[in-house]
Amino acid sequence: MPEPFIRLQNVEKTYLTKDSAILAVDDVSFDINESEFIAIVGPSGCGKTTILKMIAGLVPYTSGEITIGDVRVDKPQTDLGIIFQDAVLLDWRDVLSNVLLQIDIRKLNKSKYKARAMELLNNVGLDGFEGKKPYELSGGMRQRVSICRALVHNPPLLLMDEPFGSLDALTREQISMDIQHLWMEERKTVLLITHSIPEAVLLSDRVIVMTPRPGQLAEIIEIDLPRPRQLNRLPEKFNEYAGHIRQIFQDSGVLELD
Ligand X SMILES: Nc1ncnc2c1ncn2[C@@H]1O[C@H](COP(=O)(O)OP(=O)(O)O)[C@@H](O)[C@H]1O
The entry of ligand X, Mg ion, none near residue 47 (CB within 5 to 8 angstroms by kind) is ligand X
The entry of Mg ion, ligand X, none near residue 17 (CB within 5 to 8 angstroms by kind) is ligand X
Only one of the segments 43-51, 55-63, 87-95, 172-180 lies at the binding site for Mg ion (rule: CB under 5 A); that segment is 43-51
- Binders in 208-237 for ligand X, by CB under 6 A: 213
**77 is a contact residue toward Mg ion (CB under 5 A):** no
CB of 75 to Mg ion, least distance (A): 22
As a whole number of Å, the end-to-end CA separation of the chain is: 33
Q: Rank residues 113 and 249 by Cβ distance to Mg ion and give the closer one.
A: 249
- For ligand X, what does the binding mask look like between residues 7 and 36, x meaning CB under 6 A? --------x-x----x-x------------
SS3 labels along the chain: CCCEEEEEEEEEEEEECCCCEEEEEEEEEEEEECCCEEEEECCCCCCHHHHHHHHCCCCCCCEEEEEECCEECCCCCCCEEEECCCCCCCCCCCHHHHHCHHHHHCCCCHHHHHHHHHHHHHHCCCCCCCCCCHHHCCHHHHHHHHHHHHHCCCCCEEEEECCCCCCCHHHHHHHHHHHHHHHHHHCCEEEEECCCHHHHHHHCCEEEEECCCCECEEEEEECCCCCCCCHHHCCHHHHHHHHHHHHHHHHCCCCCCC
Which of 4, 45, 69, 212 touches ligand X by CB under 6 A? 45
**196 is a contact residue toward Mg ion (CB under 5 A):** no
CB of 125 to Mg ion, least distance (A): 27
Which of 5, 49, 150, 197 touches Mg ion by CB under 5 A? 49
Q: Which residues bind ligand X (CB under 6 A)?
A: 15, 17, 22, 24, 42, 44-50, 213, 258
